[in-house]
Structure 1
C-alpha cells in the first residue's frame, strides 16, 4: 500500500511539474556550441536628428581664433606644436541644438546642415570650413543627448548615454536599466523607433541569434524598449488559477490511476 501511495504521489508530482510552463531565460540559446563563432554584422552608425544637442569644441594655436569659434571663456591649456593650444572653459552642458530644419547655428560659419550626418562627418565638415580661417585646427563633436527609454519588466527608466559612447546595443541598454527579471519575456522585446518623421516597431527574440543581426540590435537616440511581463505577474494569480481546468484534469487522471493500482 505504501509503495502504491508513493508511486501515486510521484506520478502526481511529475505530472504537475511537467505541466508548468517553462521559460527560456538564456540569451541566444540557439547558438552552436563552438569555441569561436564569427558572423558578419553591419552596424548602422547614429545619425543626427532635429532636437539633438551637439557638443562642438574647436582647438587652435591662437587665442583670438578660439574666441571666434568657441563660446565661453578661453583659457590656456599648455604649449605644444610651436604654439599654445587653447580650450574653451564654460558650462559643459551647453551645446548646439539641431533645429527643425536639421541645422545648427555655428559661430562665424553660420547655419550648417547636420541632419543625417554622423558626428564624424560633422567633424570633417567643420575641419574643412575652419581651415579657411586657421591652420591645423582640432575639432571635437559629440552627441550630448543620446538617451533611450526602458519600460516593462525592466522598470520605467530613461537611460542617458555618456557623450563619448555612440554604440549601445540592446544588451548593454538592458544592463544599464538593471536587466530583465525572471518575469520578462525575452523572446518578445519590443523596440519603438522614430526616424525621419516615421515610427517603426520591431520585436526582438533575445533567445535567438537572429537578434544579433537585426537593425534594431543597436539602439538609437530616443528609442523606446518595452519588455513584456509574464501574464502571471500581471494578473497576480498562481499557475493553478490560470490553468485550473488543465490542473483538474491532471489530478483526475492521477486519481483514476491510483484507484487502478490499489
Structure 2
C-alpha cells in the first residue's frame, strides 16, 4: 500500500512540475528594449510626418488680420439640431470637413480642385499658404486630420479602436492606450496591418529588441491595425485548460483516499 501511495505522490509532483514549467516565461519573452544600451541615438526620427490619404477628413481653416476677407476661403459651419428641437439657434454648430477622394483630391473654395494625397501636412499647409497669399496678405492656415484612428487587437488589456488627436503616435503609445500587452501576448511577433497605395501590407515587429524604434513601423499611420497574437502558454492553456483542473482534482482525490487508507491500516 505504501508503494501505491508513493507512486501517486510522484505523479502529483510530476504534474505540478509540468504545470510550473509551462507557466514559466523567460526574460527574453517579456522584457522590452533588451538591447537598447548598445544602440546609438537616432536623430532622424523626429522628422516623421504622416501623409494625406484617400478618405481622410481634413479640417482646414484660413484666418488673417481681417476675418471678413477669409470668409470665401472657409467652409460654412452647419447647425446640427435634434428632431425634437424647433429652435435652430440651440443646435450645435459644426465646421464642415474636406473629404479626400480616391484620387487624393479635395475641392477647396476659390482655389478649386487641389491634389493633397501623398503629401505631408507641412507640404499641404505651404501649398495652401502660397496659393491663398495671392488673395490675402499673410494668411494663417490651420490644418488637421480629423479621422486619424488605429485599432489594437489580440492579447492586450483593452482592445479597441482609438482616435488619435495629435496626428502622430508610436506603436508603444498605441499599446499603452490599450493598457499594454497581457502576460500572454507574444512580444516578438506583433503584426501591423497597413495599407500602402491601396494595397494591404502585413508587417512583423519585435518589441523585445530596441532596434524596432528605427523601423518604418515605430510610428503608426492612420487606420493601422495592430494585432498581438497569444504566446504558446495561452494557446496550450486554451487547449488543455478545462481538463487540467479536472485532472488535478482527481489526482488530489486519489491521494486523499490513499492517505486515509494507509493511515487507517497503520
Q: Per-residue deviation at 1:211?
A: 1.1
Pick which of 41-50 and 115-124 moved more.
41-50
CA contact (8 A) 1:232 1:239 kept: no
What do the CA deviations read for 1:100-151 (whole angstroms, capped 9, x no partner)? 1111111110110000111111111011111111111111111111111111
Determine the structure 1 residue equivalent to 2:160.
157
Determine the structure 2 residue equivalent to 1:61.
65
Pick which of 40-49 and 215-224 moved more.
40-49
Matches within 5 A, 1:133-144: 133-144=135-146
Determine the structure 2 residue equivalent to 1:28.
33
Q: Per-residue deviation at 1:224?
A: 0.6
CA contact (8 A) 1:72 1:90 kept: no
Partner-residue secondary structure (3-state), 2:150: strand
Selected match of 1:38 from 21, 36, 41? 41
Matches within 5 A, 1:97-112: 97-112=99-114
Determine the structure 1 residue equivalent to 2:131.
129
Q: Per-residue deviation at 1:41?
A: 4.3
Distance 1:40 1:129, change over 3 A: closer
Counterparts of 1:72 and 1:107, CA distance in 2 = 10
Q: Per-residue deviation at 1:30?
A: 2.3
Structure 1 gap segments, 5+ residues each: 74-88, 245-262
Determine the structure 2 residue equivalent to 1:204.
205
Partner-residue secondary structure (3-state), 1:186: coil
Q: Per-residue deviation at 1:205?
A: 0.7
TM-score where L is the length of structure 1: 0.72
Counterparts of 2:171 and 2:23, CA distance in 1 = 29
Q: Per-residue deviation at 1:199?
A: 1.6
Counterparts of 1:64 and 1:40, CA distance in 2 = 43
Determine the structure 1 residue equivalent to 2:251.
none
Partner-residue secondary structure (3-state), 1:217: coil
Q: Per-residue deviation at 1:153?
A: 1.0
Determine the structure 1 residue equivalent to 2:75.
71
Partner-residue secondary structure (3-state), 2:187: strand
Q: Per-residue deviation at 1:209?
A: 1.3
Determine the structure 2 residue equivalent to 1:116.
118
Q: Per-residue deviation at 1:217?
A: 1.1
Q: Per-residue deviation at 1:21?
A: 4.4
Counterparts of 1:38 and 1:44, CA distance in 2 = 16
Structure 2 gap segments, 5+ residues each: 1-5, 78-91, 248-266
Counterparts of 2:240 and 2:37, CA distance in 1 = 37
Structure with the larger helix share: 2
Counterparts of 1:40 and 1:59, CA distance in 2 = 34
CA contact (8 A) 2:69 2:136 kept: yes
Counterparts of 1:124 and 1:225, CA distance in 2 = 32
Distance 1:37 1:101, change over 3 A: closer
CA RMSD, aligned part only? 3.0
